[in-house]
């Protein structure tokens, strides 16, 4: 099997840990460089204890032109601005790019500015990226050169609602609450991720203004949703990893519960990393540490000619919501078996 030389940029955080762990075990990848602003000159295990003895690589702090030298694939866990600088440095080189930031997920530079704050660092590069949700864009991802991996909240909500958007049943308002783990805030502690506070608390942040909102609306609209509006409230929870979303919408009274359940089962029947549990609703613990997502639903009684639906979706924010999905995308980009290194079922945290 041909081996592709890969570099991870922004590799000292939690996403970098999962990317490194999987790429070091990947039969078609040779991880040759891991760059970061901290731990420079120290082995990977200085930041990622589980990699002790697994690699002789050390963290390097290199400018973009040097960081991409001699590699076939670049995976970036960087902020949007530095990500754009790397893509600009690559230019027309034969280097595949997989970006985990929000820089290239939205199709519009104006939408990016509205939801992320600053002006887009490289609007001319937006059309060249494929949105990396394999369950929607698998064919476009095969052989792609540049991929924007989705956000963790976005992946969770999209997987829950995608079957109904594609069936033409997602029409109008959707309301969603997403509960996330502390690792989603990064490896550097802050006042809101400090364990003594986080472990006994629930708090919302960026309610109705979270930047994954337009990403979700964009994706589901492309899939078939009509006149979609999304009210999204994220909540920080006392978990170290995992994400759980509850999404509410309504369908006409004539749409039966059995049809809705059938849509969910049939849509994901052949998907390698999305499960629809038969005897329970999704749970974070069932997917923790794995690249699997779970989806399920409950249906309420008809009121005023409309039937309420609650869709539940769960995944590991660092895996299917982050680095795991990036590896899944990388496998598709390189036209490899999509499940390579990703079939570990995880386990109790």
- Candidates 12, 4, 3; CA nearest to 60 is 12
Q: Is 262 a catalytic residue?
A: no
Q: Please give the radius of gyration of the chain, using alpha carbons only, rounded to the nearest integer.
A: 20
Yes or no: say if 6 and 73 are a contact pair by the CB < 8 Å rule: yes
CA distance 67 to 64: 5
Element (H or E) spanning 311, and its range? Answer: strand 306-315
Residue 253 falls in which region: left (phi positive, over 0), alpha (psi -120 to 50) or beta: alpha
Burial class for 109, CB neighbours closer than 10 Å (0-12, 13-18, 19+) = middle
CA distance 80 to 117: 11
> What are the structure tokens assigned to 318, written together?
């660092």
Instruction: Name the catalytic one among 35, 152, 176, 262.
Output: 152
> What are the structure tokens assigned to 40, written together?
């420079």
Indicate which residues carry an active-site annotation. Answer: 152
């Amino acid at each position: 099997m041909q081996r592709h030389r890969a570099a991870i940029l922004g590799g000292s955080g939690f996403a970098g840990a999962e990317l490194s762990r999987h790429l070091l075990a990947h039969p078609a990848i040779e991880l040759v460089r891991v760059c970061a602003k901290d731990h420079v000159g120290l082995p990977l295990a200085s930041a990622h204890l589980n990699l002790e003895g697994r690699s002789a690589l050390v963290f390097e702090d290199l400018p973009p032109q040097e960081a991409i030298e001699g590699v076939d694939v670049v995976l970036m866990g960087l902020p949007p601005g530095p990500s754009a600088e790397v893509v600009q440095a690559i230019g027309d080189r034969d280097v595949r790019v997989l970006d985990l930031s929000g820089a290239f997920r939205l199709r519009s530079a104006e939408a990016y500015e509205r939801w992320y704050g600053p002006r887009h660092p490289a609007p001319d590069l937006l059309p060249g990226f494929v949105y990396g949700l394999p369950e929607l864009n698998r064919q476009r991802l095969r052989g792609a050169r540049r991929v924007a991996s989705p956000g963790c909240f976005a992946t969770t909500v999209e997987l829950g609602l995608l079957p109904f958007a594609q069936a033409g049943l997602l029409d109008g308002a959707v309301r969603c609450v997403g509960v996330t783990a502390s690792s989603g805030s990064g490896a550097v502690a802050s006042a809101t991720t400090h364990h003594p506070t986080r472990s006994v608390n629930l708090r919302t942040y960026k309610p109705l203004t979270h930047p994954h909102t337009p990403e979700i609306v964009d994706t589901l609209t492309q899939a078939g949703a009509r006149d979609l509006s999304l009210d999204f409230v994220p909540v920080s929870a006392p978990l170290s990893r995992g994400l759980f979303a509850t999404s509410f919408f309504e369908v006409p009274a004539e749409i039966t519960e059995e049809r809705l359940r059938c849509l969910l089962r049939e849509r994901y029947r052949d998907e390698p990393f999305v499960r629809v549990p038969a005897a329970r609703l999704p749970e974070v613990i069932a997917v923790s540490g794995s690249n699997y997502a779970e989806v399920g639903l409950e249906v309420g009684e008809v009121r005023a000619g409309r039937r309420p639906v609650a869709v539940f979706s769960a995944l590991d924010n660092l895996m299917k919501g982050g680095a795991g999905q990036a590896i899944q995308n990388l496998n598709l980009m390189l036209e490899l078996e999509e499940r390579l290194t990703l079939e570990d079922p995880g386990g109790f945290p």
